[in-house]
Each structure stands twice: as C-alpha cells, then as structure tokens.
Structure 1
Amino acid sequence: MDVTAPRDPPSDCRGVSEILTRVGDKWTIQVVVALREQPRRFNDIKRHVAGISQQMLTRTLKTLERDGMVVRTVRDTAPPQVDYALTELGLSLSEPVRQLARWARAHLASIQDHRLRYDENR
C-alpha cells in the first residue's frame, strides 16, 4: 500500500458515506431494480417490491426523486396517473446494483454455510 497517496478530505468521506447509506438501503435497491426495465405506476412498483409498505415506498420514491435518480410524471387523465421512471443517473446506479445482486446470488450458499458454522461454534 502506498502510504504517500493523497487521502480524501473528511468532508468527501462523509458525503460519500451518506450517499452509500441511502443507495445501499434495501428498499432503494429494490425500487431501482423494479424501475430498471420500464417506468411503473406506484401500485405496480409496490407489487414488485415484496414487503414494502405504502408509506415506505412513498418515502423511498421521494428520496430518489430528490436525489435525481427517479422522475415522477403525472399524466393528464381522469383520475390523474403517475408514472415513476429512472433518470440517467438512476440507470447508472442500476448496473452496480445488478452486479451486487449477481454476486449475492453466486455466494448465497457459501455465506449461509459460513453463518451456520459460526453459529454452531458460539
């Protein structure tokens, strides 16, 4: 390891940490996955994200919209219909999320095995 390499300023670390905490949230990841293929309406997203409450989905969508990862489009119909879609920024997040999901699936059995052995030795 090169000890002379410049370090990130502490303020950058805090900002990165905050973003990683937000995008690493289980609901955020699942909403991004649900929207990856196409725009969806609220109840359609809710069906794709097992276990999420209406309140948590609302909160997650608002946060993603505030961060510029989701765009909310209200269609002029009676009653109004609202679609949610990933922005370019949101789509750029979806690829690392997919890679993480692939890694998790590939290592799930191994991790479960390690947990069992660890718990047996406690």
Structure 2
Amino acid sequence: MQTNPYAHWLMIVGVVATAAGIERIMDQPGERTGATMTALILGGAGLFLCGRAVLEHEVYERLPMSHVIGVVATVALAPFAAHLSGLAVSVAAGLVLLGVAVGESLRMRRRPVPVPASS
C-alpha cells in the first residue's frame, strides 16, 4: 500500500508550528496574539488535523468527521484570536485538539477501525 507522503509532512509542520507558537507564548502569556502567533498556534493545529485526516483517508478510506470539525473550529477561532491573550488562544487550540481526540475515542468504541485494504 502506498500512502501519501505529504500527509506526514503536514502533521510534522503542524506540530512544529504549534510548538513554536507555544514556546513564544510561554515567554509572554498575557500578550495579545498577532497574525503570526495566530497562524502558528491555530494554523499549526489545523495543519496537523488536515494531515491526520489525509492519512486516515489514504489508509482506511474514510474521512474522519471529527478532524473536519476540528479544522473548521481552528479556522473559526482565528478572527477572535486578535482579541485574546496568547494563553487563551493556546488553550482554545488545545481544547479543539482534545475535542477531536475525545470524538475519535468515542467513535472507536462504537465502530473499531477497519483493517486497511491491501493493494
């Protein structure tokens, strides 16, 4: 089975971007986020979820709705991020990721992951 190599890169870039944003917030947690910080934190979380959704689509031939909702949530939060502190934006991104993880956990209890189709 050949999977899309870009899925892994999207996830890696998302994790690195989020980590860079969080590191900067640790220095100044009360400072309001600008466009760069918003892109790093929320964009990084969204990129990770996109990469994970692409990977799951390639391997299991399904698009996880929890990931789609998570990406939409990160995009929807972006306009409000300018009015929030960096700490609040990072907590919001963390809550989105936590929501996706809980959603996937509940889905796995109802329907286990199918065995990948062999090529």
The structure with more strand, counted as a fraction of residues: 1
Alignment TM class, shorter chain as reference = under 0.3
Q: What is the TM-score of this pair, normalised by structure 2? A: 0.27
The higher-RCO structure (CA 8 Å, 6+ apart) is: 2
Larger Rg: 1
Q: More helix per residue: 1 or 2? A: 2
